[in-house]
Structure 1
Amino acid sequence: MIKLATIGTNWITQEFLNAAKSIPDLILTAVYSRTEEKAREFAAKVGAERAFTSLEEMAKSPDIEAVYIASPNSLHAEQAILLMNHGKHVLCEKPLASNIKEVQAMITAAQQNGVVLMEAMKTTLLPNFQAIRHHLPKIGKVRRYFASYCQYSSRYDAYKQGIILNAFNPAFSNGALMDLGIYCIYPMVVLFGKPQSLKANSVMLESGVDGEGSIVLNYGDMDAVVMYSKITNSYIPSEIQGEEGSIVIDAIHTPTKVEIRYRDGRTEDITVPQEQHPMYYEALEWAELIRSENRESETNSHAHSLLAAEIMEEARKQTRILFPADQNPLCP
């Protein structure tokens, strides 16, 4: 059994635990929150035996082997490194950290301590993403990757009333690129690797984060276009265009309908059943890595996480999105 703890008491942590229930090896032992009231309330809600308000105490606890982190982005690196330095395996919500230096520091800590560190990017471990990878050769030479994730945030209504919640606060390394753009970028990295160059544009909000943006990436013999937004909705699918056909993906973040539209007019449905909660597959991958001698996912690998961070940091530099975490003394 893998004795599990969580950091974060929001909806995403609840969803992860709902998914993890289907994995017998993951046994929830403890939860963490900054306040005792929230920690105890959440522990009672999810059936955890212990509630911590001290990360140091939780890191030292022999009753915990692995931790799922769903705190604000700006806290990921510091929390993960503390836990890994005490021998805990870590599954950390996307984006893995605020910048390249933090990601590299996390990877170094994982390697030095012999523990599993994996970015909780659900998309690339879902059955229909595996179907995309399997059928990709059918469309011939790939010439364009297009991914869009534009979802109006309910927190934007508060923002327009002058209330800046975490989602639009640069202190927490947030914004459209970090929260939604990563869902477009990470699958691209897994499928096509590192681009030669990129050009980014953003619509900035007064708080200092991007409300929406787009990136055009050059791969030499193909290009990639990604679009993301927290202040508008989009209803168009994502697509991988090849010389012999295109793979049409209903939703890049959680693909449930995937088909190939061939140049000659044929259509092939390559959708596969997804019988589990979307977050089940990342939890399973993590648990299997912990049980095995492998300390790194082949799909959500350290290299892929680092490359995604590099792309996002370059996009931020071009659009002048700066976070306080970029001056983090944790990563000199």
Structure 2
Amino acid sequence: MKLAIIGTGKIVQEALYAIDSLRSIDTRAIFGRAHSREKARSLADQYRIPEVYTDYEMLLEQSDADTVYIGLINSVHYAYAKEALLHGKNVILEKPFVLESSQAEELRDLAREKNRIILEAVTVLHSAVFRKMRECLPGIGAPKLVLCNYSQYSRSYDAYLNGVIAPVFDPAQYGGAVNDLGVYTIHYCVGLFGMPEDAAYFPNRGYNGVDTSGVLVLTYPGFICVCASAKDSDSPGFITVQGEKGWMRADGKPNVPEKLTIQTLDQGNPSVSTDAAGATVRKSIVKDYLPPAVRHRMTQEFADFAEIIDGKENAVADELMEETIQVVKVLEMAGMQDHMRS
């Protein structure tokens, strides 16, 4: 895959480090706006990138890259992705993909029309822990309750409290806790269970209306998922799925889970006991799964992207895009777009 990097911010810097060891990716170009020219040149020198652009149209017309990775602020995702597709490039678009399902569907359809591939860069779907969760899900029986928490105190929050608003806390730029962090937990729920029947968001809003933290409730037939996210406070991250015959818990920040614990009923030993709280305890088997070590949390997703794009695995891309579109629809269902427009 011949890749052009669009942006120079923190997520782009992490992506460049993540893919530096991947032989399947040849990074051909980097784009930064005029005021970021020196940063783009510095990154190009550091990662041996031969072409530096400050004109996006020129990059799309002149670079021999077949794919662009767009790591820009949320509000420009749709426009930059559409322009790249119109120029015949494959697209890897940072999360959150876009904030309207009509835009997501338009980008999907345009990619098909141009015989190109578009993918969302979200680590969840390429995580070994997530794949193990999918594999183990039937063993815990009918799901009853899913609890998720992705909270981390933002490095921009103190400045926000003093009136300096970074894009991540700007509603006009589609900032906020659910778009930045909650989107990961939504991907777990939709990736494991599909589209919910309903979604409702209960935010704590800052002085400019942005959600600095909040709880999203997804309703499925027979169970609910509760997803907490926060940029104004911190706590350990986790994804817990409770079923009638057991449970599983992924520990760590949901974008880079560290361990998965699975507890299932011991079918060969149906004995029960009572614990100190007076609860019934069924005989169970507990297993831990540790994911293989990787250079960076984004390394595996880019390895997967290169395989999909170079191998023209359109069916795999379509499946991933369908999941992405469902996540966008969940955000719509929860009323996020109406708030952003207000």
Same fold (TM over 0.5): yes
What are the equivalent positions in structure 2 for 1:164-183 lying under 5 Å apart? 164-183=165-184
Residue 257 of structure 1 aligns with which residue?
A: 259
Structure with higher Rg: it is 2
One-letter amino acid matched to 1:67: V
Compute the displacement of 1:265 (Å).
4.3
Alpha carbons of structure 1 residues 97 and 301: separation in structure 2 relative to 1, 3 Å: same
* CA distance in 1: counterparts of 2:212 and 2:290, whole angstroms: 32
**Map 1:271-286 → 2, pairs under 5 A:** 271-286=290-305
Please tell me whether residue 28 in structure 1 is matched to residue 46 in structure 2: no
Paired residue type of 2:66 = E
Report if the CA contact (8 A) 1:121-1:300 is conserved. no
Residue 266, structure 1, aligned to residue 277, structure 2:
no
Q: Which residue of 2 aligns with 1:328?
A: none
Equivalent position amino acid for 1:256 in 2 = E
> What TM-score comes out, normalization by structure 1 length?
0.92
Instruction: Determine helix, strand or coil for the equivalent of 1:321.
Output: helix
1:99-248 matches, cutoff 5 A: 99-235=100-236, 237-248=238-249
SS at structure 2 position matched to 1:164? coil
Per-residue deviation at 1:61? 1.9
Q: Aligned residues: percent identity?
A: 31
Deviation at 1:317, TM superposition (A): 4.6
- Cα separation, partners in 2 of 1:66 and 1:298, compared to 1, 3 Å: closer
Change (3 A) 1:300 1:179: farther
Shift of 1:74: 0.7
Change in Cα spacing, 1:60 to 1:228, as seen in structure 2 (3 Å) is same
Q: 1:119·1:300 contact (CA, 8 Å) conserved in 2?
A: no
C-alpha contact 1:260 1:268 (8 A) present in aligned 2: yes
Q: List gaps (5 residues or longer) in structure 1.
A: 325-332
Shift of 1:278: 1.5
Aligned to 1:327: none
The alpha-carbon deviation at position 155 of structure 1 amounts to 0.2
Give the distance between the partners of 1:220 and 1:98, measured in 2 at CA: 25
Question: How many residues of Structure 1 are paired with residues of Structure 2 in the alignment?
Answer: 322
Change (3 A) 1:67 1:236: closer
Matched, 1:303 2:304: no
**CA distance in 2 between partners of 1:65 and 1:293 (Å):** 12
Q: CA RMSD in A?
A: 1.8
Could you tell me whether the CA contact under 8 Å between 2:262 and 2:288 is conserved in 1?
yes
- Farther-moved stretch of structure 1 (16-25 vs 157-166): 16-25
1:17 counterpart residue number: 16
1:286-297 matched pairs, under 5 angstroms: 286-295=305-314, 297=316
Q: Pick closer, same or farther for the CA change 1:206–1:168 going to 2, 3 Å.
A: same
- Which residue of structure 1 lines up, in the alignment, with residue 340 of structure 2? 322
Q: Retained in 2: the 8 A contact 1:131–1:271? A: no
| Deviation string, structure 1 residues 107-164 (Cα, Å, up to 9, x no partner) | 1221111111000011121111111111112211111221110111010000011111
User: Residues 30 and 52 of structure 1 are in contact (CA less than 8 Å); yes or no, is this contact kept in structure 2?
Assistant: yes
After TM superposition, the structure 1 stretch with the greater mean CA deviation from structure 2, 116-125 or 231-240, is: 231-240
Whole-angstrom CA distance in 1 between matches of 2:295 and 2:47: 19
Q: Give me the TM-score of the superposition, normalised by structure 2.
A: 0.89
Corresponding position: 1:6 with 2:5: yes
SS at match of 1:162: coil
Closer/same/farther in 2, CA of residues 8 and 196 from structure 1, 3 Å limit: same
Q: Deviations over 1:220-274 (max 9, x none)?
A: 1121111111111122532000111110110322112101134424321133323
Alignment partner, residue 49 of structure 2:
48
The secondary structure found in structure 1 opposite 2:178 is helix
Unaligned runs of 5+ in 2: 265-281
Q: Structure 1 residues 21, 294: closer, same or farther in 2, change over 3 A?
A: same
Task: Answer yes or no: is the 8 Å Cα contact 2:294–2:300 preserved in 1.
Answer: no
CA contact (8 A) 1:148 1:228 kept: yes
Q: 2:267 maps to what in 1? A: none
Deviations 1:181-240 (A, max 9, x none): 101001111110011112221111122311111111111112111111111112253200
